[in-house]
């Protein structure tokens, strides 16, 4: 399948509908190659604007789904939220008898609850491993040579279970860089996807905005109301993103 892309602030965004993304993912599963799925949103594009390495990483994505109302508005690309596509991949894995591995969140309880929720929704889904992963802070530098010993243990666990799909929830930027640097070391993995806070949403530990707010692009307002500490992130994803778009077009 030939995939069209659009360029927004120097980042390629896959111009695909949900059914097209599902078919591309199915092809990924049966390919001889490995593939990275990222979900760029306005906050990520703002971060990549001043982080050249992150920009390189995002542009190495094989499927870059538009995960942000503002990004959809300025690009015209259909929005496919990361948590929704994670569930689509789980449905695909169940249908095709493929396996998944959950890595990240930093919490044993959250990742366990996420796995339980997935097994309730997808009864025949094969979850072959759970790992809360290493603790990576915003101050940690990439490439992650200083984490090599910790990473070796994580990679060994993943390689021992041979998952077809790997979901990585280390948080924006960190998960994409980790996938970029480590996917080739996990030869059995066909798809690695950065999923941000999806484990929390699926586990039910963090509620999503009501559907009507998501549809009109006000999910950020709901998040800010529930988590005022996100003010800086919300600012970057809204006002700073729009500012950069205007400057880029002028």
CB neighbour list of residue 249: distance below 8 Å, 6 or more residues apart = none
What was the pLDDT predicted at 209? 74
- What per-residue string of b and e applies to 116-153 under the rule 16 or more CB within 10 Å gives b? eebeeebeebbbebbbbbbebeeeeebebeebeeebee
Task: Single out the residue of 185, 171, 189 nearest to residue 100, CA to CA.
Answer: 189
Cβ(57)–Cβ(180) below 8 Å: yes
| Predicted TM-score (pTM) above 0.85 | yes
Cβ(99)–Cβ(73) below 8 Å: no
- Residue-wise pLDDT for 42-89, tens only, equals 999 999 999 999 999 999 999 999 998 889 998 999 999 999 999 999
Q: In Å, how far from its chain's centre is CA 125? A: 20
What was the pLDDT predicted at 207? 76
Query: CB 77: neighbour CB atoms within 10 A?
Result: 23
- Residue-wise pLDDT for 204-242, tens only, equals 998 777 877 777 767 766 666 676 776 677 677 678 888
- Residue-wise pLDDT for 95-112, tens only, equals 999 999 999 988 899 999
What was the pLDDT predicted at 133? 85
CB neighbour list of residue 167: distance below 8 Å, 6 or more residues apart = 86, 89, 100, 101, 102, 103, 104, 193, 195, 198, 199
Instruction: Measure the CA–CA gap between 83 and 69, rounded to whole angstroms.
Output: 14
DSSP lists the bridge partners of residue 240 as: none
């Amino acid at each position: 399948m030939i995939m069209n892309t659009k360029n927004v602030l120097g980042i390629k965004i896959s111009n695909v509908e949900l059914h097209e993304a599902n078919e591309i993912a199915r092809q990924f599963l049966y390919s001889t190659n490995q593939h990275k799925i990222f979900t760029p949103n306005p906050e990520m594009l703002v971060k990549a604007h001043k982080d050249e390495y992150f920009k390189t990483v995002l542009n190495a994505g094989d499927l870059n789904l538009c995960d942000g109302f503002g990004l959809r508005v300025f690009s015209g690309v259909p929005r496919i939220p990361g948590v929704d596509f994670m569930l689509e991949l789980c449905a695909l894995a169940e249908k095709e008898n493929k396996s998944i591995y959950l890595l990240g969140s930093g919490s044993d309880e959250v990742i366990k609850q996420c796995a339980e929720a997935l097994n309730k929704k997808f009864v025949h889904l094969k979850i072959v491993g759970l790992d809360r992963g290493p603790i990576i802070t915003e101050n940690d530098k990439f490439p992650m040579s200083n984490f090599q010993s910790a990473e070796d243990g994580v990679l060994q666990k993943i390689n021992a279970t041979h998952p077809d799909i790997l979901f990585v929830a280390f948080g924006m930027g960190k998960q994409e860089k980790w996938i970029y640097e480590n996917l080739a070391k996990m030869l059995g993995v066909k798809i690695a996807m950065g999923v941000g806070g999806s484990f929390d949403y699926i586990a039910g530990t963090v509620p999503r905005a009501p559907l009507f707010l998501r549809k009109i692009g006000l999910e950020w307002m709901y998040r800010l109301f529930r988590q005022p500490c996100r003010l800086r992130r919300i600012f970057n994803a809204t006002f700073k993103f729009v500012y950069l778009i205007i400057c880029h077009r002028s």
